[in-house]
Structure formats: structure tokens, C-alpha cells
Amino acid sequence: MTCVPGTTPYPWPWHGELDPERLALLLVSCYADDRPPPGDLAAVVRAAGGLVAGVRVRAPRPAAGESAASWIDMPVSAPGWADVPVSAPSWADVLVSVPGWDGFYAGPLDALLRRHGRDLLLLAGCCLETGVHSTLRSANDRGYECLLVADATRAARADLRAGAVSTIEMSGGIFGAVGASAAVAAALTGKE
């Protein structure tokens, strides 16, 4: 039995089989620069044998000063969400860009994770209430065992953070469990 220490509301993963070969870290990013979350979570996961996937949701986003409506109406011939560069950044194995807030909608994320045998998912990134939450909910529906790495997420509004975390934890972990990046690192490196 290997679990990430200190996760709530239950020891994660539920079956106690924290096999790095079944593990993937989804870094959901809403940053303009697609930068990864702070710290070395991605490096730790890769070193242990986990897969690191950048998940660019609502891509491309409206440029500064544009409304969402202008994005919706964007001419097809303009650089659009079907035309975004998809080469993976240095901190990821793959990068998936999708049009919605849910990283699984209208893209290859589910096919990619299945092909690589990854059914244990760590979720982090920004923003917690939007892309991270939608992607985690969708992953849970698809049968993935999910852990929100809470300190590796950024909330769009500070007052909504606690509710977003509680919604995952309620009813015994209705959408998965919640943990900390240091605990993930400890579990994967065997050090405490």
C-alpha cells in the first residue's frame, strides 16, 4: 500500500496502489504565458516515471482588451483555436489544447491517457474554479482517480478557493481527494 500522505477526505489513491507508471500530472493552464505552477512538481512526477501533460483550456483565449464575444466571432482564417502551436513546453511530455474549460472536451486527452495507461491523475494549474475544476469533474466521470494538488493551483478569486476545494471533498470525496505538492513528492521519492 502506497498513498500520498495527508490527503483528505480519504487516503489517495483509494486502492493504495500509487504506481508511477499509471500516474499523470495534468497542468491546466489559463495563464497568458502558459507557465507551469510554481515549484518542481512536474520534475518530480517525471523523474518518478509519471506523465506530465500541459492542458491548455479555452485555447486560444481572447487577447488583452478583447471580449469573449470577439473570440467566439473570430474569423476562421484568423489564427484560431484550431491553429495554436501544440509543441510541448520543456516542463511537459505533451501539450493538449482544447476549446472548452474541460480539458477532456473536443480533444485527445482521454485517448492519450488511455493509450499510455494512466488512470491516476494529479491536477494542478490555474484557475482552480474554471479549467482545473471542469477538467477534474470530467476526469472523475470517466473513471480516473483524481487528486487535486491544492497548493499548486491558483484561484481566480481568493474568496472562492475554499468552496472549490470543499466541493471536491464533500460526501466522502465526491470528485476525488485533495493533497499537497510536498506530500506528492514525498510519496514519489520515498522520502518524507
Q: Which residues bind a copy of itself (CB under 8 A)?
A: 14, 51, 68-69, 72, 76-77, 80-88, 93-96, 98-102, 105-108, 110-112, 114-116, 129-130, 133-134, 137-138, 140-143, 156-157, 159-160, 162-164, 166-167, 170-172, 174-175
Min CB(4)–a copy of itself separation in Å: 19
> Can you name the residues that pair with 179 across neighbouring β-strands?
149
Residue 160, Cβ neighbours under 10 Å: how many? 14
Min CB(73)–a copy of itself separation in Å: 9
Q: Closest by alpha carbon to 7, among 138, 161, 159, 122? A: 122
DSSP 75-109: -TTSS-TTS---PPPTT-SEEEE-SSSSTTTTSSH
| CB-based contact 71:61 (threshold 8 Å) | yes
CB nearer a copy of itself, residue 38 or residue 49: 49
Give the type of residue at 86: V
CB nearer a copy of itself, residue 43 or residue 174: 174
CB nearer a copy of itself, residue 19 or residue 93: 93
| CB-based contact 15:120 (threshold 8 Å) | no
CB nearer a copy of itself, residue 92 or residue 183: 92
Min CB(53)–a copy of itself separation in Å: 8
